[in-house]
């Protein structure tokens, strides 16, 4: 009997395939379908720092404009909570999802500063979320910022969130740190329970005829797994956190490779738009077939099998292997 259960930052999941934050999770009926298709957990669509600040500013303006109103006019104005539709609805989705499905529901906050919006994490915890994913979507475009400045921003946010809530905490990080391994260790020490590799930063395109910037968002491609595959294999067993992969999973092959590298879970979104929510079931069926063929009864029996820690020749992940690859290419010419 093939067992797909996995542990992700202390949460027991029925499968290693997790739905990543995307607009499909705005609707409860989609979340129910995701559970039925075999998803181990669902990460809700992200709530953005700008969204929270906008709602807070709007409430303050309403409060100020009605402070000196006649008491008789009080019923004319909606209650202040009525204006907080976006943020309150997010909490309601958490609550409703927890009532309708048994799989873990992970909330997602997207921001770049350590002030204000982190307090909303308390509300998320009280709404019943099983865990919290922090997406520090931050492109350091200020040329005066140092690498230490950028790193401290991440660490400060993690520490503040950790002080705010007791929920399992996952950090979605980018691949551009100068010393990613060291940064992973710092994040763990700051309070992160899981690292998600990697964030796909928005990369604009140009319209060379209209001379404008095109805000295009392209779906991921299986070829994009190479970088997170490398770092998951490097970090596995060396930093005591759960590892999640979140790029390029369009079939069982990518999921299997991530598991072999050492990932606890792999996340999907693009394939759900390309094929539909039933893609989850197709991927997991193919994973079961692979495990049956190889004689793997459960995920621990092959997780991390090709990580740097477990392969006979660890230099396959360093400069020596890079040199050997170039030499092999020369010999063919």
51: confidence class by pLDDT, cuts 50, 70, 90: low
Q: What is the pLDDT of residue 40?
A: 98
Q: How far apart are CA 184 and CA 6, in angstroms?
A: 22
- Whether residue 61 contacts residue 44, with contact meaning beta carbons closer than 8 Å, is answered with no
Q: What is the pLDDT of residue 84?
A: 35
Closest to 113 in 3D by CA, of 65, 149, 72, 71: 149
End-to-end Cα, the chain, rounded Å = 49
Q: What is the pLDDT of residue 70?
A: 32
All domains of the chain in start order, with CATH: 6-331 (3.20.20.70)
Alpha helices per DSSP H over 16-167? 28-37, 49-66, 85-100, 120-127, 147-164
What confidence tens digit (pLDDT) does each residue in 62-97 have? 334 333 333 333 333 333 343 333 788 999 999 999
Q: What is the mean pLDDT of residues 221-229?
A: 89
- The upper half-sphere exposure of residue 62, i.e. CA atoms within 13 Å in the direction of its Cβ, equals 16
Q: Which helix (H) or strand (E) holds 93?
A: helix 85-100
257 compared with 200, residue with greater pLDDT: 257
Q: What is the pLDDT of residue 209?
A: 87
Span of 45-54, 163-172, 185-194, 223-232 with lowest mean pLDDT: 45-54
What confidence tens digit (pLDDT) does each residue in 121-136 have? 999 999 999 999 998 8
Q: How far apart are CA 191 and CA 205, in angstroms?
A: 37
Q: What is the mean pLDDT of residues 282-287?
A: 98
Spell out the residues 6+ positions from residue 190 whose beta carbon is closer than 8 angstroms to its own.
155, 158, 159, 162
Q: What is this structure's pTM?
A: 0.83
Q: What is the mean pLDDT of residues 315-333?
A: 56
pLDDT for 324 beyond 50: yes
Q: What is the pLDDT of residue 72?
A: 32
DSSP character for 240?
Answer: S
Q: What is the mean pLDDT of residues 274-281?
A: 96
Q: How far apart are CA 306 and CA 309, in angstroms?
A: 8
């Amino acid at each position: 009997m093939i067992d797909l259960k996995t542990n992700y930052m202390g949460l027991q999941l029925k499968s290693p395939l997790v739905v990543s934050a995307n607009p499909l999770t705005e609707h409860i009926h989609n979340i129910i379908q995701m559970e039925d298709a075999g998803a181990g957990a669902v990460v809700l669509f992200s709530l953005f720092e700008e969204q929270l600040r906008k709602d807070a500013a709007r409430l303050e303006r309403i409060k100020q404009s009605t402070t000196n109103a006649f008491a008789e006019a009080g019923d004319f104005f909606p209650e202040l909570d009525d204006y907080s539709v976006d943020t309150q609805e997010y909490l309601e989705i958490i609550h409703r999802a927890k009532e309708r499905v048994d799989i873990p529901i992970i909330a997602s906050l997207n921001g770049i500063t350590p002030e204000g919006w982190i307090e909303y994490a308390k509300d998320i915890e009280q709404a019943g979320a099983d865990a919290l994913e922090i997406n520090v979507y931050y492109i350091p475009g200020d040329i005066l910022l140092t690498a230490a400045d950028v790193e401290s921003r991440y660490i400060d946010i993690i520490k503040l969130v950790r002080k705010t809530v007791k929920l399992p905490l996952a950090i979605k990080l980018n691949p551009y740190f100068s010393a990613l391994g060291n940064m992973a260790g710092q994040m763990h020490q700051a309070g992160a329970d899981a690292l998600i590799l990697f964030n796909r930063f928005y990369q604009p395109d140009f319209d060379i005829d209209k001379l404008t910037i095109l805000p295009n968002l392209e779906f991921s491609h299986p070829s994009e797994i190479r970088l997170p595959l490398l770092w998951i294999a490097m970090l596995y067993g060396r930093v005591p956190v759960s590892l999640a992969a979140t790029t390029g999973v369009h079939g069982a092959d990518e999921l299997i490779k991530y598991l072999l590298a050492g990932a606890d879970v792999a996340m999907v979104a693009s394939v759900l738009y390309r094929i539909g929510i039933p893609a989850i079931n197709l991927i997991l069926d193919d994973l079961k077939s692979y495990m049956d063929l190889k004689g793997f009864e459960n995920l621990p029996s092959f997780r991390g099998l090709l990580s740097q820690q477990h392969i006979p020749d660890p230099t396959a992940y360093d400069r020596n292997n890079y040199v050997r690859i170039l030499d092999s290419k020369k010999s063919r010419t």
